[in-house]
Amino acid sequence: MEGQIGIYFVDGFPCFRKADRAPSLNRSIAGRGPPGKIADMPDTLGYARVSTDDQDLAGQVLRLKAAGAARTYEDVISGRTFVRPGLKALLDYARAGDTLCVVRLDRLGRSLRELLEVVETLKAQQIALVSLEEKIDTTSAAGELVFHVFGAIAQFERRLIAERTRDGVAAARAAGRHPGRPKLDQEKLRAALTLIRNGMSPTKAARHVGLGRSTLYRELALIAGALPGAA
């Protein structure tokens, strides 16, 4: 389709597909910019994501363009780190009234939590969501209910996490355990300080007495800060 633009990222590195016109990231936004400047018409922005184990990127892009996507943003993620620069670029470009279109909802996240985070961002930015396979379209009056359902699910999950945390803390205390950072063994700290005063490095001293290296360095910083004349 004439004028369609494809922007994709491979493990975080941006690339551009050939297009009928040079991609421009400049957009006029309603309520912003010079007075009297007319805002662009709302866009449908496609988003596709694959990993090296699922090379169906071309198929997703074709379906997004057939659905009317003026631009497509794509991520190819092969590592364990789930960084999505393509999705970020789409959200940075989009403005209120635009529509994000995906082939399936799982393209927006690998877990329910990741999906809900994206949906909440879309709602906050007043960006509609269309998922082709699930036949979700929040641009319609009925489809807008989907945002409210997702919001309720997100709130429900946050409450579950909070309740599980409280239950876990209560169970640990009932069993005589005290959640949180364990108390510092003062005997080990004094022994480590003695070794350091006698020329041993903090790293070796920590290993020798059985203290964590970061714990010992943190205590040394606190001691240094408490000395007279310390800034």
Output the pLDDT for position 181. 66
Q: What is the DSSP string of 78-89?
A: -SSS---HHHHH
Residue 23 lies in a domain: yes
Percentage of the residues of the chain whose pLDDT score is greater than 70: 73
pLDDT in tens, 165-194: 887 777 777 777 766 667 788 888 888 899
Specify the residue for token string 């399936």. Answer: 104
More confident residue, 26 or 104: 104
More confident residue, 205 or 110: 205
More confident residue, 222 or 2: 222
Q: Is the pLDDT of residue 150 over 70?
A: yes
**Degrees, nearest 5: CA angle 102-106-111:** 145
100 and 198, same domain (yes or no): no
CATH at 70: 3.40.50.1390
Lowest mean pLDDT among 9-18, 50-59, 124-133, 205-214: 9-18
Average pLDDT, the chain: 78
122 and 196, same domain (yes or no): no
The domain tally of the chain equals 2
Q: Kindly report the number of other CB atoms within 10 A of residue 130's CB atom.
A: 22
Residue 170 lies in a domain: no
Output the pLDDT for position 227. 64
Residue 162 lies in a domain: no
40 and 122, same domain (yes or no): yes
213 and 147, same domain (yes or no): no
Counting Cα atoms < 13 Å in the Cβ hemisphere of 210 gives: 5
87 and 194, same domain (yes or no): no
145 and 219, same domain (yes or no): no
Q: Is the pLDDT of residue 29 over 70?
A: no
More confident residue, 41 or 71: 71
Residue 179 lies in a domain: no
Q: Which of 28, 51, 140, 214 is catalytic?
A: 51
Residue 169 lies in a domain: no
Residue 174 lies in a domain: no
69 and 136, same domain (yes or no): yes
Distances (CA, A) of 106 to 51, 68, 110, 132, 169: 12, 20, 6, 12, 33
Structural domain range at position 219: 186-226
Active site annotation includes 78: no
45 and 140, same domain (yes or no): yes
Bridge partners, residue 50, by sequence: 76
9 and 87, same domain (yes or no): yes
Which amino acid is located at 76 in the chain? V
Q: Is the pLDDT of residue 47 over 50?
A: yes
Q: Is the pLDDT of residue 66 over 90?
A: yes
